[in-house]
Chain A
Amino acid sequence: MASPSSKDHLLEFLLRQGDNALVLGHRMSEWCGTAPALEEDIALANTALDLIGQTQFWLGYAAEVEGQGRSANDLAFLRDAYDFRNLLMLEVPNADFGRTMMRQFLFDAFQVPWLTALSGSADERIAGIAAKSLKEAIYHLERSQETVIALGDGTEDSNRRMQAALDYLWPYAGEMFADDEADAAMSNGQVAPLPSSMRPAWDAAVRPALAEGCLQVPEGAFAHSGGRTGFRHTEHLGHMLATMQVLQRSYPGAVW
């Protein structure tokens, strides 16, 4: 097998950005109509729509770079689980509202410094998408952080749920910072920083907020991996895609 070209690396990078937004956006949309309060229902739907909007930009660019005549929609609705490049943390089920908001917070706290850095990318398309997405991410972070603190430092039940959510998600968080060959290529080309370089900013944002929410950061550095490389997704992604893609699978080429 020939060694990957810079185009392959760029495509990989764009799929990771797009699939993160798509998979988390879809998980968020699952709350539509069932959130614990009407106000949260609308807020979660807004977040989902922001993320789906970001997906269109990332996957649209990915499709252009791929050059096979596919569109963002084709990439979203006609790829199978092993072609997805999202973080495992984003595909696990919502479980309860607490885990949903904890995941959102852990991801938002990464996205804000990440998109800030990408806004200065040598690739102008990436810089543009990042600058637009950043405003949304900053608001998402404000909201998710406030919710995590309020529920952590809330009732006995809400604290227990938030701690359980943190314990469950923490081993997935490390995948955000795991560099590989594609990341190194992006870094060398001034397209994106190494994900591992985001760790200090992320820790500085996450740890004080968790402490304020009376939550204990789990010990241990074990990190699940396999999502952003596509090596091994959890069993949950296939189920999620079955729901998300059913229309295009049942009625190929159906349009709005």
Chain B
Amino acid sequence: MTMDKKEWPLWEVFIRGAHGMSHRHVGSLHAADAEHAIKNARDVYTRRNEGVSIWVVEADKITASSPSQKGPLYDPARDKVYRHPTFYDIPDDAGKM
């Protein structure tokens, strides 16, 4: 952390709510470093028993797709309904997919 910067860097927080589920983005917070971010996430986002695992990543380490590229990125997939496995019946025993 540089001395002239007053704000701690921003971290994105991901929480896994239960075993077998995937981590889900829950929000962001400020912290001095990664360990501090984990502790802050514990206090800010899991105080009502929401999680069993926490991931944090510095927000500026995330590369995001550009909203202005929406057309070229996503539109071509719209009419390709055959890419969805919706023509199969999933047996109940298979569980969560």
Contacts and interface: CB of A to CB of B under 8 A. Distances in A.
B3 A39 contact: no
A251 B22 CA distance: 50
Given A39-B31, A146-B35, 19 more contacts: A37-B8, A37-B30, A38-B29, A39-B29, A39-B40, A39-B43, A40-B40, A42-B40, A42-B43, A42-B44, A42-B47, A43-B39, A43-B40, A46-B47, A139-B42, A143-B39, A146-B39, A150-B32, A150-B36
Contact of A142 (B29, B31, B39, B44): B39
A3 interface: no
Interface size class of B (residues with CB under 8 A): 10 to 19
Interface of B: 3, 8, 29-32, 35-36, 39-40, 42-44, 47
Interface size class of A (residues with CB under 8 A): 10 to 19
21 contacts: A37-B30, A38-B29, A38-B30, A39-B29, A39-B30, A39-B31, A39-B40, A39-B43, A39-B44, A40-B40, A42-B40, A42-B44, A42-B47, A43-B39, A43-B40, A46-B43, A139-B42, A142-B39, A143-B39, A146-B39, A150-B36
A43 B42 CA distance: 9
Given A39-B29, A43-B40, A146-B35, A155 B3 contact: yes
4 closest A-B pairs by CB: A43-B43, A39-B40, A46-B43, A42-B44
A214 to B, nearest CB: 15
